[in-house]
Amino acid sequence: MKTFIAAKIQNIRVTGKSIDYAGSASICPLLMKKAGIEPYEQVTIVNLANGQRWITYAIEAEQKGDFLLNGGAARLGEVGDRCLVFTYVTSESFNGARVLFTNHQNEVERELEYPL
């Protein structure tokens, strides 16, 4: 068995932070659905502004377009930072991945399916 990328959200922008929250990343429910990310699923986040990379879990945000860093992750980025969100799957072979490219309002402006 190997671990492969399953989904990626490219250039999602941080819209808020909450250090007092117990943890996780709050992601717009529309983006989660399009990417195939389930609530409480493990995600890897990369902050393109500062190079920070961490693993947490996804929960649905309350507002369309929201991407919030919660708990300790709130220290790893600032509002407006562009990030990547990845999910992975363990399988014997690569079965494809969905990639969403977002604009400044965290709306999908382009979608790709790998392999191309």
Which residues are marked as active site?
Answer: 24, 57
Distance separating the N- and C-terminal Cα atoms of the chain? 23
Amino acid, single-letter form, for residue 54: W
d(CA 102, CA 110): 7
What would the two tokens of residue 3 be? 């671990």
* Nearest CA-CA partner of 38 in 53, 13, 20, 59: 59
